[in-house]
Structure 1
């Protein structure tokens, strides 16, 4: 053994004896690296082994003990040494160098057939990433930042898009609003400092021989020159972004770019483009993925039985994993996307069906009250129930009487009166000696619910009020120790019937005498574990989940198939719809004048911005920066408050309370006021940069006004007078129906915002497009058919599928109600 390798072996064996405490070398193993490099070079150690050893020493001090143990054993294995402790061994066949197709001449080949020696492919799929060629420990750490830890993870690390080099546009054919990829050569670079700011503009002019295009970037002044140095004259780049007008010329603002790999040009093919992180380039990721696909994709066991693949008309998993990365044609790419999207929806549906079966087979206390008492409760309200409220209340009563725990999602548009359903249901439960809890995401929302419950259920002037005022309490982070102790005792002895609160309800050691009904408001703000913790405060309590976020039916059936669904799409009588107008940026002065007029009439206004400060994007108006301008120059005689997401929860609560108490005339805010805040005196919602919001989000913001008796107005101001953007926003002026807008949003922007509401607790949907209603229905029908035939997936042909469902749902967090 060469002397240098023998030294390394001895150091590593000593580190094993020291239980990987980084004490084999004084100062840490990385201190040995400078002296090690010359010896490795002098003794002619192979580049591959040298790279692995150097990466190991460089990353050792930053690694966890578990990672140190694994990497030490891997290096010793490469050096031919066996440690005395048990090791995880990898089948040598899976670690041998893959037999590549010529990557430079054909990127689109499918994976080669498995070699005779690769008899145990699963070892390769679960093996750590640094065992691939040219990926040492430090580069594996970069991949880890993208959630890629194993070779199997890399196969499922899908491209964010594909560029077809055979159909690229030339610059002379670009049109405004094109979102595309071009290939061009750097002609010139200019760095200029933005006046009065720690920002610089980097302008790069590129050409492809048919025309010129300007690329514009904003970077901190300290780093701008280093950034500009990437754009050397004559360098060929692949550039992706949106073509926009600037002083009569075409420009891309902050496009993504990479140096052109000449091999891609020679293939004239479809090239994957991956998400990146610091330390990784497209070339590095593509090389790693290509190795994984070439050697391992054909060895992945297909968890879907052949009968299901035939029924769904989808390709096998090996073909899908190959073609999603390096497709031969657009058709093979689409077939791969369809298979992988089907997998996600199908696994989601199976989990949802199991959830529902598990829930409905449990027993819960029945709550049935006499019709005359129901009539007394309804007649005691200060208004008549809408038809939608009556229908929903009937559905809830049926749940309470069923003997199984209620598990219902109540979707009600902004202002549709969901709170009264929660109040009436709580009344039924407490009249039969149960206790109820309502959990809200913020203290200010909890206070709103508390005031509503006192008004609806404990009105002393009403002879049939179901509760006394003292039986309804509020618990938030502001509650003092004495109040908390009193509340704890009252819940334990049953003298408190209804409690409203925030997460403090589950964090405190609170116990109930007989919790039978739980309401969770704005459910996407709570994680799976929080909902489960609340439920555990009782024995199978009835659960009502409320949201003011209209979710399209196709999406609701997919993501919430385990919940019974109630939709309240009717507004209370007398509620005036908010009048909405789209103004051009040049009409901003008119908007300011309208705000002043409303405030002179005793009302208040919101002005909402898409970003917190202009450092995020200099060309987007920003709350922090414009707050100063609005206060000093536009509304000098008015009080202008500021609310944004970087404030602490206490600071946000304080600002909202001050606004509600009319200490501010105008509240400048980011979207943190989107959900639930009730300021009846606010009559104007002015939204800057409206083109940056989805329709559903704009509707939520609009719902913060129009909650009083006065006519309210919503003003949408996009960044430019772009006719296409204004056409999209025009839908807001035509309807106040949140469900119509949600469907439109789904068509225009895709499912991103909606999916986020339900991702906690299971793997993200990375390939499924929720707009594909046919695929959703197909996956749901196939899942229901399979679930009917084999609900426990216990048949031998479904063994791999059972394992995949558990993996997809992360079974430790599978309570998704």
Structure 2
């Protein structure tokens, strides 16, 4: 079977359906078979309607009296009907699922699974899933539930998979480390389980297979990196020691260790490929400064790439003070730099040691004489192509050493797999004088009596505040307050304060101007979207308010909180929640802990790796089944991958495996 044939070659999939599937990323036969159920309904022992009790129920019956109406609020469509089974009848309701009007035939029996609860004064079955009785295997009563894609709903996928049932027998094995037929059996039982145990066994194997591809990609990346050549940067102990002694502050133990790891890497003739991860405010830039000084001592060049002009300017101001005192020439290159051509001549002739810039560093006419170290700040904001463009500016035949920095702490279990063959340095200490940020969850009802007095206190101390909102503009369909509305409301509450708003749709120059004025304390309260998540340091900002905090992920909340607490003053973060519902676990964890690495582990368990990894690298990890908290399975896969790589013929023999890991190779590399 050709697993890479177009999905339209499968029975029942014409051009229209193929187009819907392709938009969902299901382009090939392989993609289609790996579109696994997200769960299973068990209809083995359905409840009779007469015996239903509030909560989740599974019933069997026929449906009639279907109708659809539009609700006045929020552009909501409501489908209603009645299910009957011989013992009674129950009302059924679906919201924004108009396709249900076309799904059912009054003569056929269906299984329904959903919540039986009180709604508008009467008990109803709310938004249940549905499956035709004739389609369910009577021996086990299991029905797979698929994620809907466009017009194709779960029941459509069940029918399409059933049409291809005979094709599973000819699916070839992918890995050499398993018994023949393991893969086809796993895929078959994932879609057609004969018991819950068979479904779980299928998923266990497919998780193993997925991790095998990921870890193999990471190890191959390491092998490729080790083939490259770089200029050795000798460690000048005396001069580095003198540099550290003259700093106006003490390095933390974590900074000293990270710097030593970098010095050791750069002494080798293979390029360093190191990720420096540090919690917000842990001093990553200082470590980069030490690395840059070591390179400049050897009359070689450093490029530091930052995602925004204002962040590049901040790095320039800090590093020119630190390094300039030791004779290192530092320059700033952004889109707004005047006399660009003259500066580029100085860079090309080696008269500039350290160049800090934005995308302007990537242009073809920006050339270096002897680029030996590339530092990328918030590296997830740059794609593979952009990063490689800078790396290719080193002398012919050589690759520069690479130090990528991220303020998003990576869970240890994620490091073991994705970054298992990458060098990682961790800054898990805050510099002396920094105070932990006190975090408190408040309902919006407590804003006036608790939060407003705190803001007045902050303003009276000549300190500043951030207030983060979800939306830029008001939306009548939601009750979310926009940055513009919140700005107007707070101006009325605090008439003496200078209050402005900031959002991502503003022009870059306008955003930079507002942030610069905020950093000069010309703005006391800045109302913003998450555009401030990564930005300039404003040590005078001591209060962070995050509205609708439940709508953000844990990692993002921690990043936003990290905008305050940058100086020596006590700082505070308030998480606002609507209504009086109890706060989620992630908000409670954030209230208890300021340790980004602990929170990253919690986030991994709560949400899985996709979103977390998406914040670290270009592209999401998007694992279908495997969980990166399963360290036992990870260690087993690592051992099997090691054996696989001992035989070079495997690279040719297992063609599908090798072609399938290309995506993972792009994700698991920094260069």
Q: So what's the TM-score if we normalise by structure 1?
A: 0.73
Residue number in structure 1 paired with 2:502: 643
Q: Does 1:287 align with 2:287?
A: no
Distance in 2 between the 1:144 and 1:786 partners?
Answer: 33
Matched, 1:473 2:331: yes
* Corresponding position of 2:451: 591
* Aligned mate of 1:773, from 631, 643, 652: 631
Taking the TM superposition and a 5 Å limit, the aligned residue runs for 1:57-136 are: 121-122=1-2, 125-136=3-14
Where 1:373 maps in the other structure, the secondary structure is: helix
Cα shift at 1:204 = 5.7
Within the candidate set 387, 405, 410, 1:531 is matched to 387
Q: Is the Cα–Cα contact under 8 Å of residues 610 and 622 in structure 2 kept in the other structure?
A: no
Quickly say closer, same or farther: Cα 1:303–1:574, change in 2 above 3 A. Answer: same
8 Å contact kept, 1:274–1:285: yes
Following TM superposition, by how much is the alpha carbon of 1:189 offset from its aligned partner in structure 2, in angstroms?
5.9
Shift of residue 561, structure 1, vs aligned partner: 2.1
CA deviation profile, 1:652-704 (whole Å, cap 9, x unmatched): 43443343343432222232222243222211111122223333222111101
Determine helix, strand or coil for the equivalent of 2:515.
Answer: helix
- In the superposition, relative to structure 1, how do residues 720 and 767 fare at CA in structure 2: closer, same or farther (>3 Å)? same
* Correspondence 1:309 to 2:178: yes
Q: Which moved more, 1:735-744 or 1:363-372?
A: 363-372
Superposition deviation, residue 808 in structure 1: 1.9
Aligned-partner SS, 1:272 = strand
CA deviation profile, 1:739-772 (whole Å, cap 9, x unmatched): 1111122222222322324664797422221122
Name the CA shift for 1:438/1:696 in 2 (closer, same or farther; >3 Å).
same
Deviations 1:561-614 (A, max 9, x none): 231111111111110111111123321222133123212322221122345556
Q: Which residue of 2 aligns with 1:261?
A: 132
Task: Say yes or no: does 1:516 pair with 2:372.
Answer: yes
1:320/1:337 contact within 8 Å kept: yes
* Corresponding residue of 2:146: 274
Q: Is the 8 A contact 1:238 1:259 kept in 2?
A: yes
Instruction: Specify which structure has the bigger relative contact order, considering alpha-carbon pairs within 8 angstroms and separated by 6 or more residues.
Output: 2
CA contact (8 A) 1:436 1:499 kept: yes
Deviates more, 1:535-544 or 1:766-775: 766-775
Matched, 1:705 2:574: no
Counterparts of 1:246 and 1:653, CA distance in 2: 50
Cα-to-partner distance string for 1:98-119 (whole Å, 9 max, x where unaligned):
xxxxxxxxxxxxxxxxxxxxxx
Equivalent position SS for 2:191: coil
- 1:39 is aligned to none
Say which SS state the counterpart of residue 491 (structure 1) adopts. Answer: helix
Matched, 1:385 2:251: yes
- In 2, are the aligned partners of 1:528 and 1:815 still within 8 Å (CA)? no
| Deviation of 1:413 (Å) | 0.8
Counterpart pick for 2:576 among 717, 720, 735: 717
Q: Which residue of 2 aligns with 1:751?
A: 609
What residue in structure 2 maps to residue 29 of structure 1? none
Give the direction of change, closer, same or farther, for the CA distance of 1:352–1:683 in structure 2 (3 Å limit). same
Aligned counterparts of 2:380 and 2:128: Cα–Cα separation in 1: 35
Partners of 2:95 and 2:378 lie apart in 1 by: 40
**Do 2:115 and 2:127's aligned partners in 1 also have CA atoms closer than 8 Å?**
no
Distance 1:247 1:279 in 2: 30
**Does residue 157 of structure 2 align to residue 299 of structure 1?**
no
Structure 1 or 2: more helix by fraction: 1
Q: CA deviation at 1:409?
A: 0.9
Cα 1:214–1:764 change in 2 (3 A) is: closer
Gaps spanning 5+ residues in structure 1: where?
Answer: 1-120, 218-223, 460-464
Question: Is residue 337 from structure 1 mapped to residue 197 from structure 2 by the alignment?
Answer: no
In structure 2, relative to structure 1, the CA distance for the partners of 1:626 and 1:289 (3 Å cut) is farther
Asked whether the equivalents of residues 542 and 571 of structure 2 are also in contact (C-alpha less than 8 Å), the reply is: yes
Counterpart position of 1:49: none
User: The residue matched to 1:575 in structure 2 has which SS?
Assistant: coil
- How far apart, CA to CA, are the structure 2 residues paired with 1:408 and 1:523? 12
The answer on whether the counterparts of 1:608 and 1:670 sit within 8 Å (CA) in structure 2 is: yes
Note closer, same or farther for the CA distance 1:815–1:754 as it changes in structure 2 (3 Å cut).
closer
User: Do 1:321 and 1:336's aligned partners in 2 also have CA atoms closer than 8 Å?
Assistant: yes
How far apart in 2 are the matches of 1:412 and 1:302? 42
Cα distance in 1 between the residues matched to 2:102 and 2:532: 41
Name the counterpart of 2:21: 143
Q: Distance in 2 between matches of 1:614 and 1:246?
A: 29
Task: Go from structure 1 to structure 2 and tell me whether the alpha carbon gap of 1:393 and 1:129 turns closer, same or farther (over 3 Å shift).
Answer: closer
Alignment partner, residue 604 of structure 1: 464
Once the two structures are superposed, residues 698-730 of structure 1 have per-residue CA deviations (whole angstroms, 9 ceiling, x without a partner) of 21111010112211101112234333x355422
Residue 618 of structure 1 is aligned with which of 457, 466, 478?
A: 478
Over residues 233-274 of structure 1, what are the superposed CA-to-partner deviations in whole Å (9 max), with x where a residue is unaligned? Answer: 99999888899998898899xx87666534346746322233
Whether 2:664 is the aligned partner of 1:805: answer: no
2:209 counterpart SS class: helix
Name the residue aligned to 2:75: 200
Q: Offset at 1:347?
A: 1.3
Q: 1:316 to 1:727 in 2, by over 3 A?
A: closer
- Alpha-carbon distance in structure 2 between the residues aligned to 1:743 and 1:812: 24
SS of corresponding position for 1:544? strand
Question: How big is the shift at 1:390?
Answer: 0.9
- Kindly tell me: are residues 452 and 532 of structure 1, through their superposed partners in 2, closer, same or farther at Cα, counting changes over 3 Å? same
- Residues 113 and 129 of structure 2 are in contact (CA less than 8 Å); yes or no, is this contact kept in structure 1? no
Q: Does 1:507 align with 2:363?
A: yes
* CA apart distance, 1:159: 2.6
* Partner Cα distance (2:451, 2:111) in 1: 42
Match of 2:538 in 1: 679
Q: 2:312 aligns with which of 435, 441, 446?
A: 446
Structure 2 SS opposite 1:322? helix
Asked whether the 8 Å contact 1:406–1:543 carries over to 2, the reply is: yes
Please report how far the alpha carbon of residue 632 of structure 1 lies from its aligned counterpart in structure 2 after TM superposition: 5.5
Structure 1 residues 813 and 391 mapped into 2: Cα distance closer, same or farther (>3 Å)?
closer
How many correspondences in the alignment?
656
Shift of 1:506: 1.3
SS in 2 for 1:289: helix
Q: Indicate the larger mover: 328-337 or 594-603.
A: 594-603
Q: Residue 661 of structure 2: SS of its match in structure 1?
A: helix
Identify the match of residue 641 of structure 2 among 768, 775, 783: 783
Q: Map Cα deviations across residues 474-496 of structure 1 (whole Å, 9 max, x no partner).
A: 1223334x3x2122111110111
User: Aligned partners of 1:616, 1:653: CA distance in 2, in Å?
Assistant: 30
* TM-score (norm: length of structure 2): 0.88
Cα deviation digits, residues 783-810 of structure 1 (max 9, x gap): 12332x22x3x15xx6443541233224
> In the superposition, relative to structure 1, how do residues 662 and 284 fare at CA in structure 2: closer, same or farther (>3 Å)?
same
Indicate how the Cα distance of structure 1 residues 494 and 249 shifts in structure 2: closer, same or farther if over 3 A, else same.
farther
* Cα distance, 1:210 vs structure 2: 8.1
